[in-house]
Chains A and B, each alone.
Chain A
């Protein structure tokens, strides 16, 4: 773990204002930010753990828990809201059987994220599965897309 982090951090040595890009890179490599990586980043930047956690927890992009193997992002922007994104969100939760109050399935295969806006408003409501953007979503398309994804064993 430590070696991996050292490799990630090294290119940022001496850069001004590197906290956010560093955290972004760490998250990209590790999938999320755990306590150990926050400490390492703080050490590296000569800041306290509190300061780094303060920065990380301020921004929506940073996660402190593991993600599922597949990530479903449901857009909650204005256009998507007006076109019924809450129904898309509910359909995803139902289809994946995500336990109430949680964002990840029990088997860790799928996690769900609510996103403020993807900027694909003209095709609202929008859902993103891993890196594929799906526009003009309906509840039946949610079921179809997720059923296919559930069938695929990564």
Chain B
């Protein structure tokens, strides 16, 4: 069968599936869906269908990106658009199936939106929802829509037409097209992809390698995981394109072992590619050969760095080396090697499918196309998004992300992970592109965005990242090995309330030294979280050092919990739940926390009934409380009394 025939067959099957007279049910079972309970929902669906003898097609799909709505279930009935239901529980399933599948009531009260042609009364168009409208889904176009374990569904939606086109071009033409698209590395540094490919293509030597960096090590980012789980073929197609352009016959995917589902989906995808002659020798009948090997990372953040990653593939400690020679000249096994990030590869596939001009139509002059971001932390709508570059940060946080959770105040967004920085409220109108983010002291990074609110301490945030980079520093160069340790020691002291005058200046000096003298990207950017928090949140450092106070109330050593005597009703709830028995008091006795025993876990604050609100957390001050439990003084129940009085 020629590829054209495969395409025709795939399209025909896809069309038939769309026209199918059986109802179809889609369950998002990517890692985040599973964490929210999607597998139990899937079980409930299968049970209910067999109980009622309903013939329906149940498909597991990847993540559509609305993690805060997980588990999500979509139902399609013939001649109706797909309806998305959010936050589905196994308990809801019997009713939903009875209402929609049996009695044809689509339950607009539970539905979130419709996808595809047509509309359903009372249900909005999914893509027009405020959180989706500003998004442009190019890389994520198939995630949550197609079955990631079925290559034909990818082919039916334009998949592998990019490589089919590329095989009729010269490598130079392909590189030229990638250059024209304006694509820059999505791993974070933003180097022009076409130019990078050209370096490697022109390097002397016969044997060449390409590598897909799927070692998403930034703690707080999950774009690559979602893409690999939701649409692995798009990444693999991009690798075919790149290998052809560069002249490589060997490819590696270096994926972190913490992503078992992504690895499983990649393995399935590779098997299917073999069936359709999309990998191995004579790809699609051409002279182009490529073998693709999956390498599981073993957990080292520094392996995100190119030379360290290659050392790791070679079976060594993942330590970076000095450059030059650059990997494009001497990389894996000493041969010319080109490394790109998961998202970059997926971008190149779609560029070759739809053309450079189309892709360059999105984004800004210097930052073309779209970028995926993962929104997490104290934001209302957590999830995975894709936006055109040049969008304002405010649009991402407020329009798409729905602002800060629980009515709290925005404090900062951390972009670029441990190598990035924090961006404060007065810079919310910043446009998201490589240059603007760098100017603000942060980086684009691979796309992690963690939002901090008023309860997040920025000194603690810096300490958190330093703990991370210090333990991940490979130890090869002194500035990074010793510098990160010293900076961490100082930050730990400051967050413990043992800061000293001069610490800020010292920290600043050390940070600049580590930044300028370290060997690789890890060390060169390790101080960014300190430098940006010092730049925008110096007052928080000063409060910790001078007043021994944590303004956000987050640094455990600087906070105390108290039970307010005028509010405590002696209900014993906090006492019963205290894990270390630090609370004294009997029924109708004002409870007292033993400050020496208290581990400051905050359980009492969480457990104290909303109507009493008797537990308080303070920093930098003491609250007068009895030294031991005393009887609760009967209080006039003002609000209740008025109610009683007002009731006839």
10 residue pairs of the A-B complex, CB under 8 angstroms, read: A17-B314, A23-B298, A82-B378, A116-B468, A117-B218, A121-B222, A122-B376, A133-B35, A134-B35, A136-B36
Task: Judge whether B383 and A78 touch: CB under 8 Å.
Answer: no
Question: Is B82 part of the contact surface with A, judged by Cβ < 8 Å?
Answer: no
CB contact between A87 and one of B32, B318, B601 (< 8 Å): that residue: B601
Q: Contact: B450 with A133, CB < 8 Å?
A: no
Decide: A124 and B259 in contact? CB cutoff 8 A: no
Task: Pick from B32, B217, B219, B414 the residue with the most CB of A within 10 Å.
Answer: B219
Q: Choose among A19, A60, A94, A117 the residue with the greatest number of B CB atoms under 10 Å from its CB.
A: A117
**Is A126 on the interface with B (CB-CB < 8 A)?**
yes
9 further interface pairs, Cβ-Cβ under 8 Å (given A17-B314, A121-B374, A122-B32): A16-B333, A19-B315, A19-B316, A58-B319, A59-B300, A77-B220, A78-B465, A124-B382, A126-B35
- Contact yes or no, B299 A78, CB < 8 A: no
CB–CB A139/B603 < 8 A:
yes
The interface of chain B, by Cβ under 8 A from chain A, is: 31-32, 34-36, 67-68, 70, 216-222, 225, 257-259, 295-301, 312-319, 333, 374-378, 382-384, 414, 417, 448, 450-452, 456, 461, 464-465, 468, 474, 556, 577, 579-580, 599, 601-603, 606
Measured CA separation A34–B303 after assembly (Å): 25
**Residues in A whose Cβ lies below 8 Å from that of B301:** 116
In the assembly, what is the distance between CA of A73 and CA of B225, in Å? 19
Per-residue interface assignment for chain A, residues 1 to 39, with 1 indicating a CB less than 8 Å from any chain B CB and 0 otherwise: 000000000000000111111011000000000000000
Interface size class of A (residues with CB under 8 A): 35 or more
User: Is there an interface contact between A122 and B374, defined as CB atoms closer than 8 Å?
Assistant: yes
Q: In the complex the two chains form, what is the Cα distance from A82 to B465 in whole Å?
A: 11
Q: Determine if A122 and B318 form an interchain contact, defined as CB atoms under 8 angstroms apart.
A: no
Judged by a CB distance under 8 angstroms, whether A83 is at the interface is yes
Footprint of B on A, CB under 8 Å?
Answer: 16-21, 23-24, 54-55, 58-62, 76-84, 86-87, 90-91, 94, 115-124, 126, 133-136, 138-140
Contact, CB under 8 Å: B377 / A120: no
Assess A59 versus B299: contact at CB under 8 Å? Given A19-B316, A117-B220.
Answer: yes
Contact A60 B314 (CB under 8 A): no
Decide: A77 and B257 in contact? CB cutoff 8 A. no
B222 partner residues in chain A, CB cutoff 8 A: 117, 119-122
Total CB contacts across the A-B interface at under 8 A: 157
Complex contact B35–A58 (CB within 8 A): no
A140 neighbours in B (Cβ, 8 Å): 577, 606
Q: Roughly how many angstroms separate A61 CA and B256 CA in the complex, as a whole number?
A: 10
For residue B465, which residues in chain A have a CB less than 8 angstroms away from its CB? 78
Most B CB within 10 A of own CB, among A87, A121, A140: A121
A86 to B601 CA separation, bound complex (whole angstroms): 9
User: Whole-angstrom distance between the alpha carbons of A133 and B32 in the complex?
Assistant: 9
Question: Are A121 and B601 within 8 A (Cβ)?
Answer: no
Q: Could you tell me the distance between the alpha carbons of A23 and B296 in the complex, rounded to whole angstroms? A: 11
Task: Contacts A19-B315, A135-B35, A139-B601 given; indicate if A116 touches B219 (C-beta within 8 A).
Answer: yes
Q: Is the CB of B316 within 8 A of A79?
A: no
Give which listed residue, A55, A123, A135, contacts B316 with CB less than 8 A: A55
Residues on A with C-beta less than 8 A from B375 are 122
**A148 vs chain B, min Cβ distance (A):** 15
- Within the assembled complex, what's the spacing in Å between the Cα atoms of A126 and B219? 12
Closest residue of chain A to B383, judged by CB?
A122
The answer to whether residues A61 and B317 also contact, given A82-B456, A123-B36 and a CB cut-off of 8 A, is: no
CB of B257 within 8 A of CB of A117, answer no
Closest to A78 in B: B220
Contacts of B602 in A (CB 8 A): 84, 87
Q: Bound complex: CA of A2 vs CA of B388, how far in Å?
A: 57
Nearest CB of B to A52, in Å: 10
Contacts A79-B376, A120-B31, A122-B32 given; does A55 touch B601 at CB 8 Å: no
